[in-house]
Chain A
C-alpha cells in the first residue's frame, strides 16, 4: 500500500494563479481531510469529506474548494492564490474521524 500520497511536494505560485493539490489514498478510507500548518499554530482543518460525494467546511475554508468524486481522491483547489495561503498543506485519511489518522507527506506552497 502506498498509504496517502500528495502531489506536488513543492509549489510556487504568483498571486491570482489557481492550482490543485492532489491527494490520494489506497486504504479505502471514508474520511479524508485537508489541513494547513503555519508557524506557531496547530494544524487547521480546511475541508473534509466523510465519503464520496460528501464534503464539508472546516475551520479555514475561504479561498479553497474540494470535491470527492471517488473514495480514493480528494483534491484541494486554490481558486485565486493569495500570499496568506503560503503554508504547508497536509492531506489525511482515516476509516472514520476518530480513528487512527494517516497523513500524506505534505505540500509546501509559496504564493508570491
Chain B
C-alpha cells in the first residue's frame, strides 16, 4: 500500500463545478504540499500546509492531521484548471513522498 493515496485518480468536471481532490497518508508528517502539473510537464507548488486551511484565489486546501487527510478544493472550475494535481507529504527525514496524482479535465 502506498504511503500517500489520492482519490480520485481521474476526474472530469463541467466548467463552473466545485471540485474536491482527496489525499490520505499513513506516515507521520511535518507538512503537506499540493502541486499542479500542466500537460507541458512543469510542476508548480500550490500550497504547503501543516494545519488548518489555506486559500488562494479559487483554490482551497485543508488538512486534518488527526485523520491524516487533506483535500484540495477548486471553486468555479475553469478549463485552464485542467492538470494533474499531486499531493506530497514531508516525512520524518524531511524527504517528500508523493502521491500518484489526480488527472483533472474541466470541460467547457
- Taking Cβ atoms with an 8 Å cutoff, the residues of A that contact B are 33, 35, 40-45, 48, 58, 88, 90, 92, 96-103, 105-106, 108
Contacts and interface: CB of A to CB of B under 8 A. Distances in A.
Interface string B5-43: 000000000000000000000000011010100000111
A44 B3 CA distance: 12
B105 interface: no
A21 B2 CA distance: 29
A43 B41 CA distance: 13
A108 B41 CA distance: 10
B99 to A, nearest CB: 5
Given A98-B30, A103-B43, A41 B100 contact: yes
Task: Point out which of B33, B41, B48, B101 has the most chain A C-beta atoms below 10 A from its C-beta.
Answer: B41
Contacts of B31: 98
Nearest to A44: B98
A90 B43 contact: yes
B90 interface: yes
Interface string B67-103: 0000000000000000000101010001111111100
A106 B95 contact: no
Contacts of A97: 90, 94-96
Contacts of A40: 100
Interface of B is mostly: strand
A68 to B, nearest CB: 16
Contact of B101 (A42, A88, A98, A102): A42
A48 B30 CA distance: 18
A77 to B, nearest CB: 21
Nearest to A90: B43
Contacts of A33: 96
B86 A88 contact: no
Given A40-B100, A41-B100, A58 B95 contact: yes
